[in-house]
Amino acid sequence: MKSVYIHIPFCNNMCSYCDFTKLYYNKKFVEDYINSLEQEIINNYKNEIIETIYIGGGTPDSLSVLELEKLFNIIKIFKTNNLELTVECNVENICLEKLELFKKNNVNRLSIGVQTFNANLIKYLNRKHNKEEALKNISLAHTYIPNINIDLIYAVPGETIDDLEKDIDEFIKLDIEHISTYSLILEPHTKLYIDNTYNIDDDLDFKMYDLICSKLEKNNYNHYEISNFSKKGYESKHNLTYWNNNKYYGFGLGASGYINNTRYTNTKNIIDYNNKLYIKEQEELNLKNQMQEEMFLGLRKISGIDISLFKNKFNLNVEEVFDIEKLLKEKKLIKEKGFIKISKEYLYLSNDILINFVGE
Ligand code: SF4
């Protein structure tokens, strides 16, 4: 166990596409929430050495400086080694006071929600920044924390290839270390879904993915996961925990964790959570499920599945467990230098391949 995810569900604003576990910032709820979170961590943490902590949301930096200080004091409970400590921020909340606080508390990675610099798309997504403010705040943050990820959303209805290219160019100019990309998905219960928004055309979606991959690769970003790109040595250690199918704690409202071969998800009800009724669902995985998840998650990495690591982990050969002959023949999967991976041409259609490793 080397990783911890902590969910801070409060936001100052509701984005039109968002289906994360979140609620409007409310001082009273925050106070009770932080107390309950502390108790959950004390109840469950077993003193392992932790190498990554990811404080996500919601919007962690919607909390006040005092509330954030309390949170940083709580996480001092973790014994750490060479820690990657990431905090998610919304670009419009970035300010000197919070950056100084982050630095003082050893935050060494920021993941900044930007999504786009295009004024029309910002409005459509109901985000609250503007381009000038966002560029200024990112540059300021970069002087404090020298490892920054920015999220980019594409395939927004009405967006053109030209719009996307301008966004990517702005991202590249910022010279940040990591870029995560998301094709907009219309999730039920979001404003966009309720408004009967349409998905963009599949061909355009593909062209957009292709443009992102080629432009970022040309500009020295290593494409290391289906949707993630980084400068050399700046891959997200925390997210690699998930893709490597390793165990991790999940603390907070709606958070998920994976401990002792059991996946669990916390309640999404803030009243229950603040009353310390934490876990809502849990499922112990049998050996077959564990191996399926190893494939399903591991094939998201561009490097793919390490055949000998699979053997060490499960004491079985991957090709005896899964019949991948057909996928290899179709060149959807390739076997190379001890790894099995999705071929570059099929990355865009990765879901159609990954589905082969889910089920009974
Ligand atoms: S996208 Fe982020 S900031 Fe927007 S509502 Fe969702 S959690 Fe809050």
Residues recorded for the chain? 360
* Best residue for ligand 1 mutational test, from 12, 22, 121 (most atoms within 8 Å of Cβ): 22
Pairing state of beta strands 262-266 and 248-252?
unpaired
- Closest atom of ligand 1 to 126 CA is 4
Q: Which residues have CB under 6 Å of ligand 1?
A: 11, 14-15, 18, 20, 22, 57-59, 90, 113
Q: How far does residue 242's CA lie from ligand 1's centre (Å)?
A: 21
Q: How far does residue 152's CA lie from ligand 1's centre (Å)?
A: 14
Q: How far does residue 331's CA lie from ligand 1's centre (Å)?
A: 39
- 19 CB burial (10 A radius; 0-12, 13-18, 19+): middle
Beta strands in 91-210 (DSSP E): 109-115, 148-154, 178-183
* Contact criterion met (CB below 8 Å) for 176 and 222: no
Separation of alpha carbons 286 and 284, rounded Å? 7
Q: What is the mean pLDDT of each run of 10 residues along the chain (360 residues)?
A: 95 91 94 98 97 97 97 98 97 96 98 96 93 96 97 95 98 98 88 84 95 98 98 98 98 97 97 95 96 97 98 97 96 97 96 88
Q: How far does residue 337's CA lie from ligand 1's centre (Å)?
A: 41
Q: Say what the pLDDT of residue 197 is.
A: 83
The pTM of the full predicted model, rounded to 2 decimals, is 0.96
* Contact criterion met (CB below 8 Å) for 250 and 256: yes
DSSP state letter for 21: S
In 3D, which of 90, 166, 88 has the Cα closest to residue 121? Answer: 166
Q: How far does residue 110's CA lie from ligand 1's centre (Å)?
A: 16
Q: Say what the pLDDT of residue 182 is.
A: 95
In 3D, which of 185, 212, 209 has the Cα closest to residue 199? Answer: 185
- 162 CB burial (10 A radius; 0-12, 13-18, 19+): exposed
How big, in percent rounded to 5, are the helix, strand and coil portions of the chain? Answer: 45, 25, 30
What's the angle, vertex CA 247, arms to CA 228 and CA 317, rounded to 5? Answer: 85
Return the residue whose CA atom lies nearest to atom 2 of ligand 1.
58
* Best residue for ligand 1 mutational test, from 10, 23, 59, 127 (most atoms within 8 Å of Cβ): 59
- Closest atom of ligand 1 to 13 CA is 5
Question: Which residues fall within 8 angstroms of residue 73, CB to CB, at 6 or more apart?
Answer: none
Q: Say what the pLDDT of residue 186 is.
A: 84
Q: Say what the pLDDT of residue 200 is.
A: 87
Q: How far does residue 19's CA lie from ligand 1's centre (Å)?
A: 8
Q: How far does residue 58's CA lie from ligand 1's centre (Å)?
A: 5
**Measured in whole angstroms, how far is the alpha carbon of residue 191 from the centre of its chain?**
22
Q: Say what the pLDDT of residue 360 is.
A: 62
